């Protein structure tokens, strides 16, 4: 009788454990769904030849109209050419705020995130 009771308690404990693990996994937030809901972006173009960090992080030096700066066909330079940002960023002031929230106003991080880069003009 003790063996049956011990076996029954072990089986119940195993069932409870499996149920708790199953419920825990069922309510785990899915990161895959969040990744799939990605907003369309807006392309901004760096419209300056200045390599200074204060100029790169200044939204006034960026435009949504491609200025066709020479040398933007590669990613070897130190100046950003174009940057894909969230679609909600529609003004230069919003771009300033975006640089602060996404890149902590660090020019090198903006340059790394640039779709294309270019060298300093000769």
Judgement on whether residues 23 and 62 belong to the same structural domain of the protein: no
Which pLDDT score, from 0 to 100, does residue 25 have? Answer: 62
Residues of the chain with pLDDT > 90, as a percent, come to 53
Judgement on whether residues 8 and 45 belong to the same structural domain of the protein: no
Residue 105 above 60 pLDDT? yes
Judgement on whether residues 23 and 45 belong to the same structural domain of the protein: no
**Radius of gyration in angstroms for the set of CA atoms belonging to the chain, rounded to a whole number:** 27
Helices (H), 27-116: 31-36, 53-56, 92-103, 107-113
For the stretch 30-44, pLDDT in tens is: 555 544 445 568 999
CB atoms within 10 A of CB 58: 19
Burial of 81 (0-12, 13-18, 19+ CB in 10 A): buried
Q: Which domain holds residue 72?
A: 38-118
Judgement on whether residues 63 and 49 belong to the same structural domain of the protein: yes
pTM of the model: 0.66
């Amino acid at each position: 009788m003790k063996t049956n009771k011990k076996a029954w308690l072990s089986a119940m404990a195993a069932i409870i454990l499996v149920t708790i693990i199953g419920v825990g996994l069922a309510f785990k937030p899915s990161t895959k769904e969040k990744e799939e809901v990605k907003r369309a972006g807006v392309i901004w173009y760096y419209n300056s030849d200045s390599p200074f960090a204060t100029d790169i992080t200044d939204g006034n030096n960026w435009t949504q109209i491609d200025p066709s700066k020479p040398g933007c066909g590669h990613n070897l330079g130190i100046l950003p050419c174009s940057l894909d940002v969230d679609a909600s960023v529609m003004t230069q002031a919003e771009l300033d705020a975006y640089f602060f929230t996404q890149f902590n106003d660090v020019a090198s991080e903006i340059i790394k995130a640039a779709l294309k880069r270019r060298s300093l003009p000769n």
